Structure 1
Amino acid sequence: MQGAATADARHELALEKKRKLDQSFLKKGLMIALYSGITYGLYSAFIMAAQTQGVWADWMGTLEASSFLVVFILPTIATALNDLFSAVWALLLTAKQGKLGDFIQTFRSKPGIIMVAAALVGGPIAGAAYVIALSMAGPIVTPIAALCPAIGAILSRFLFKQPMGPRVILGILICVFASGMIGFTGLTGALGPGVVPGLLLAFIAALGWGIEGCIGGFGTSMIDPQIGITIRQVTSGSVNLIIILPLLTLFGGGDLAITYQCVGQAFADIPSVFFFVASGFFAYTSFSNWYRGNSMCGTALGMACNGTYSFFVPLCSWIIIGLIMGIEGFALPAIAWIAALVMVAGITVIAVNPLDFLKKKGE
């Protein structure tokens, strides 16, 4: 009898240790996903700042603001530059870790093909839509794009049967509500001609990233996240430059020679290239931590924490473009700070059960 009791005690102790280990792993995944939201804010701020410098400033000053070239082609070039520099960062760090051989082998494997599919949805489609939306309407589109956690959570529930209890659903809804607070604040002023189509494009980006979050999180649960993000950025940058850009040009009735002349000028423009190098680094950091966080804590939780970029994009834009660079129009309204606190509350509800703290106090 004593031996059986001892065995039961050991079994309970092992289960308790496993629960603590799982909880620690989950919390680490949540923190990584939250960090991806912060770095996404930096990526967005630097890519917008790049388009205020050098040849980009010349284009914006001389070309018609509503022209197809300004509205669609130039933002797509910006996306391609960002993703290509991001791919270079990813390849350099992959090489430093001695994983280039693994990268080439994985590219041709089934998990590698899954990552390519994620890259096509989230990079050329969602990424280009997001940057075009930013160019058309500014940082107010980010809360709409931040609906991707809700989309990803719903898709992961149906595709991968990832469980979501009432507490997690409540936390996600709080985060989405906080994003909406920021977005509707931006809509209280006069609506420019590019705001409505910008918001529509931001929703396309949210849909694409919701799908990518599911595919990417699933893919990086089977392969090294570093390899996964390298596949993602290389695919996205190449497809944007070689496929999406010429297709957009032909669709808009433009001249391919003029488009790629702009590409050459953008690559050679030193004042703006430094910003694209920075945006590429933070894009790599953001997406790699997003994939890693999703694989550790599930798509729904990871994307909810990553969705904090709806606050960090305006915040980083205000600091970098508004305060440091001295360009007006990027100040944060007071409600954005309130929304940030609401979002923190939502993430806290997702990460921990408030009732646990009450139980501990009762004990």
Structure 2
Amino acid sequence: MGQTLVLPNPAAIAAKTKLATDFKRKGIVIALLSGLLYGFYTAFMTLGMSKGVWLQWYGENSGLSAFAVMYLLSALGAATTDSCSAVWAMSIASARGRFGDFVRCIKTKPGLVMVAAAIIGGPLASTAYVVGLQKAGSIVVPISALCPAIGAILGRFLFKQHLNSRMLLGIAICFLASFMIGSTGLGDEVPDGLVVGLLFGFIAALCWGIEGCVCGYGTSMIDPEIGITIRQVTSGISNLIILVPLFSMISGVNAFDMVMTSFTDAEAMPWFVLAGLSAYLTFMFWYKGNAMCGAALGMSCNGTFSFWGPFCCWIVLGLAFGMDGWSMPPIAWAAAVVMVMGIFTIAMNPFDLLKKK
């Protein structure tokens, strides 16, 4: 007996195509939200470090050394934000009945890889990022957005990943944007600490680039929600038990008293809580967006934080709270947009966005 040939239903194919397109479009929106939320994380953390007891610590009569003001307070601000983010992550995991998964995964090899990556991207990168923000303002954000370009270069040497001509062009565009930003420090009216701030912004980008390479292994074997929880918890704890005590010992300051004061300051703490929530959602939406629209496009959409970071700082700190020093020169805004273009070029062929499919 001959077999009956069953032709595919055109209506079913059209419905499946529309479903896939809508799913990808939703993933792009979520990935773009991750970049926007990174901007609010930056703004809220900086706002928290300008309220309450932080005003005294940064004041001229604080009694703290220049080293303590630059490094200890930056580490403490990062530790407070990351700890709030860790509490958000564990609370959400517990509410979703996944806290047991977190405990089990953190003991595995991929979990330990995530811990190692979090130490690099948490205490080291976060503290360098905060130092950069305190010294140079929001102009540091596009510099820190070099992390995808640095990650691509590191991936070539660490994991023998291929770099084609398009990716090399994207890397060149990113570094051109960073040069445009750096050129703002070549005039006669350069604010104190700008060059140092840009340097620490680059250190943050380097550490986050390393973290991105390492986390690629961990998140390929661990559910993103659990991986993010491991990352945030490790970052918060390691900041509190490594960098803050180390800088306190060097500065001759009681670390325990400063940590307790930071966490109990009623005026500053609400902003750190919001910063922690923004940090958690940034990572959550980044991973979720990658899963829905592809890692390349998701990374590109997240990279828009090079624009959203300065924009949110300008809106929240400059306009809403009237703080000086949070506007950026036109060349820096242009460089932020160029940086986004470079990140897109690294991650994917921009002409693919013009195709109907």
Give yes or no for TM over 0.5: yes
TM-score, normalised via structure 1 length:
0.82
Kindly state the Cα deviation for residue 238 of structure 1 after the two structures are TM-superposed: 0.5
Which has the higher mean CA deviation after the structures are superposed, 63-72 or 226-235?
63-72
Hey, what's the Cα distance between the residues in 1 that align with 2:158 and 2:29?
25
Residues 65-98 of structure 1, C-alpha deviations (whole Å, 9 max, x = no match): 8612211111111111000000011111111221
With over 3 angstroms needed to count, the CA separation of the structure-2 counterparts of 1:217 and 1:292, relative to structure 1, is farther
Question: What's the Cα RMSD here?
Answer: 3.5
Deviates more, 1:188-197 or 1:93-102: 188-197
- Structure 1 residues 18-57: Cα deviation after superposition (integer angstroms, max 9, x where no partner): 9999998887766544432221111111111111111111
Residue matched to 1:310: 306
Counterparts of 2:257 and 2:84, CA distance in 1: 19
Shift of residue 209 of structure 1?
Answer: 0.2
Q: What is the rounded CA distance, in whole Å, between the counterparts of 2:306 and 2:135 in structure 1?
A: 17
Describe the shift of the 1:23–1:147 C-alpha distance in structure 2 as closer, same or farther (beyond 3 A).
Answer: farther
**In structure 1, what is the Cα distance between the partners aligned to 2:353 and 2:269?**
50
Cα distance between partner residues in 2 of 1:89 and 1:132: 24
1:213-292 pair list within 5 angstroms: 213-250=212-249, 252=250, 254-257=251-254, 259-292=255-288
**C-alpha contact (below 8 Å) 1:220/1:292 kept by paired residues:** no
Shift of 1:300: 6.6
Identity of aligned residues (%): 51
Contact 2:306 2:337 in 1 (8 A): no
Superposition pairs of residues 315-334 of structure 1, within 5 angstroms: 315-334=311-330
Greater Cα offset, 117-126 or 337-346: 337-346
Change (3 A) 1:66 1:303: farther
Q: What do residues 210-262 of structure 1 show as CA deviations (whole Å, max 9, x unaligned)?
A: 01111123211211101001000101101111121111222x3x2342x3222
What residue in structure 2 maps to residue 207 of structure 1?
Answer: 206
- Superposition pairs of residues 81-96 of structure 1, within 5 angstroms: 81-96=80-95
1:129 CA drift (Å) = 1.1
Aligned to 2:48: 50
| Deviation at residue 195 of structure 1 after TM alignment | 2.3
Letter in 2 for 1:312: W
Distance 1:108 1:224 in 2: 14
Task: Give the Cα–Cα distance (whole angstroms) in 2 for the partners of residues 219 and 248 of structure 1.
Answer: 30
3-state SS of 2:312 partner: helix
- Pick closer, same or farther for the CA change 1:33–1:162 going to 2, 3 Å: farther
1:180 Cα deviation from its structure 2 partner: 4.3
Native 8 Å contact 2:148 2:209 kept in 1: yes
Q: Deviations over 1:249-300 (max 9, x none)?
A: 22x3x2342x322221111111110100011011111223344556777877
Using the size of structure 2 for normalisation, the TM-score is 0.83
SS in 2 for 1:69: helix
How far, CA to CA, are the matches of 1:341 and 1:122 in structure 2?
24
**Letter aligned with residue 106 of structure 1:** C
Q: Give the deviation of 1:323 after TM superposition.
A: 0.6
Residue identity in the other structure for 2:43? A
- In the aligned structure 1, how far is the partner of 2:28 from the partner of 2:157? 22
Task: Note closer, same or farther for the CA distance 1:306–1:181 as it changes in structure 2 (3 Å cut).
Answer: farther
Cα distance change on mapping 1:273 and 1:207 into 2, 3 Å? same
Contact 1:217 1:298 in 2 (8 A): no
Q: Residues 1-363 of structure 1: matches in 2 within 5 Å?
A: 32-61=30-59, 62-63=61-62, 67-185=66-184, 188=187, 190-250=189-249, 252=250, 254-257=251-254, 259-292=255-288, 302-343=298-339, 345-346=341-342, 349=345, 350-354=347-351, 357=354
Could you list the runs of 5+ residues in structure 2 that have no partner in the other structure? 9-14
Contact 1:44 1:279 survives alignment (8 Å) = yes
Gapped regions of structure 1 (runs ≥ 5): 11-16
